[in-house]
Amino acid sequence: MTPHIATGTLDDNSHAEDAKEYLLSNDFEETDIELIPAALGTAVIMNIATPTARLAQEAVDVLRNYGANGISFYEVV
């Protein structure tokens, strides 16, 4: 079950890859992290599925620390 999704846009694919590696080293699963190339330039949208609100908040913090913008998290109903 994935009741929460954290999302943000990183300006550079290398920042997205670094954030992904950090998440993977901190108990997040590969299958729960999605990188989507944005329409323009090298920007990447990162979606992180989590089972709890606490983990979604951790994902938001990681996105913020790696310079993402447009960060949000929502509950899947």
Quote the pTM value. 0.91
Supply the pLDDT for residue 51.
92
Residue 66 to residue 32: CA distance in whole angstroms: 18
Q: How confident is the model at residue 42 (pLDDT cuts 50, 70, 90)?
A: confident
Mean pLDDT, residues 6-26: 95
Mean pLDDT, residues 1-27: 92
Mean pLDDT, residues 50-70: 95
